[in-house]
């Protein structure tokens, strides 16, 4: 039997972008799935189709609520922890929010798992922020963590707590250091921002920074496939704790993303303007490429080519929000 079939699973942040796609896959594998989400960033509509499924349960709640965490962790086999503030830029203006929702929330979850003897935790970390301005490209998992945003610092803190709990209380934990994940249901990020700016003014596009920020992007279906492979690995592994970069082996400049989106929207003579500087905002990592050799050893092979994925995502945004 597959390690993730007919299990009792808790997903925090299961109404969010990545979390809701993960819920879809877990349901497909005949698992009993409970979602906890406060709906501050997630959308109930993303999981609405599961509401009538007897093996699915939704709880509107905050992971900082210790009572909710204690109750929802009862009799669970595994937890996928995807609840977090998804906006790196917001965290700069409200650093305490990141600490409270990400770090304190994760601590409450770990305590609930410990007290309920839940054995496996899969954590959505951030390869895009946790290394900061890395000195090695592609950046391996062994690289020192030097985040330059409070969001990245909060994710690094969560990883340290999970590592400690895995060792002290015999948990199986794994941190997934995601590249920039994009695709249907994503409601933030550079592609989403460009779409809305062009929808408002199809003649001009403001690009934060100098447009030369060079980063790695992974399509949501490939992200979920990689997440499932890593989860199956950690369940079978002798290691109590592990980390994986989750991304692809190439990268793209922000300006090129803009050009692809403009072409997909069939716009002509769009004028670019730039806010200037190498970084788009305070805490922005202007260059990011993850070393994915460790992931590739699990036979994870992304299927969606970046330009194709960008176009598919823009079509989803057009279908959902309309165009012009």
Task: Give the Cα separation of 211 and 115 in Å (integer).
Answer: 48
Q: Is residue 169 annotated as part of the catalytic site, yes or no? A: no
Q: How many other C-beta atoms lie within 10 A of the C-beta of residue 53? A: 12
Question: Per DSSP, which regions of 111-232 are E strands?
Answer: 120-126, 172-178, 180-182, 204-207, 214-215, 217-219
SS (H, E, C) 61-106: CCCCCHHHHHHHCCCCCEEEECCCCCCHHHHHHCHHHHHHHHHHHH
> What contacts 225, CB < 8 A, 6 or more positions away?
300, 302, 303
Selecting among 96, 131, 137, 151, the annotated active-site residue is 151
Instruction: List the one residue out of 274, 268, 256 whose CA is nearest residue 310.
Output: 256
Contact 83, 273 (CB under 8 A): no
Catalytic residues: 151
């Amino acid at each position: 039997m597959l390690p993730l079939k007919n299990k009792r699973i808790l997903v925090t942040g299961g109404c969010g972008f990545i979390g809701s796609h993960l819920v879809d896959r877990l349901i497909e594998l005949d698992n009993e799935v409970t979602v906890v989400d406060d709906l501050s960033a997630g959308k109930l509509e993303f999981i609405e189709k599961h509401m009538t499924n007897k093996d699915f349960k939704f709880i509107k709640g905050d992971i900082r609520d210790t009572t909710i965490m204690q109750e929802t962790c009862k009799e669970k086999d595994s937890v996928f922890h995807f609840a977090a503030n998804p906006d790196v830029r917001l965290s700069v203006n409200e650093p305490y929010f990141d600490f409270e929702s990400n770090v304190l929330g994760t601590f409450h979850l770990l305590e609930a798992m410990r007290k309920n003897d839940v054995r496996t935790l899969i954590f959505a970390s951030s390869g895009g922020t946790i290394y900061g301005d890395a000195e090695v490209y592609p950046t391996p998992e062994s690289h020192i963590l030097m985040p330059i945003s409070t969001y990245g610092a909060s994710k690094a803190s969560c990883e340290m707590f999970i590592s400690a709990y895995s060792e002290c209380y015999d948990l199986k934990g794994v941190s997934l250091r995601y590249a920039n994940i994009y695709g249907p249901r994503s409601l933030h990020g550079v592609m989403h921002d460009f779409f809305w700016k062009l929808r408002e003014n199809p003649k001009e596009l403001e690009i934060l920074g100098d447009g030369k920020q060079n980063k790695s992007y992974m399509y949501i279906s490939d992200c979920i496939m990689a997440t499932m492979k890593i989860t199956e690995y950690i369940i079978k592994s002798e290691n109590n704790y592990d980390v994986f970069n989750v991304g692809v082996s190439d990268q793209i400049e922000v300006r090129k993303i803009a050009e692809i989106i403009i072409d997909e929207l069939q716009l002509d003579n769009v004028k670019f303007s730039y806010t200037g500087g190498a970084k788009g905002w305070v805490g922005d990592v202007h260059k990011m490429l993850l070393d994915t050799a460790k992931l590739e050893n699990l036979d994870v092979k992304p299927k969606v080519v970046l330009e194709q994925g960008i176009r598919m995502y823009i079509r989803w945004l057009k279908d959902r929000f309309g165009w012009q």
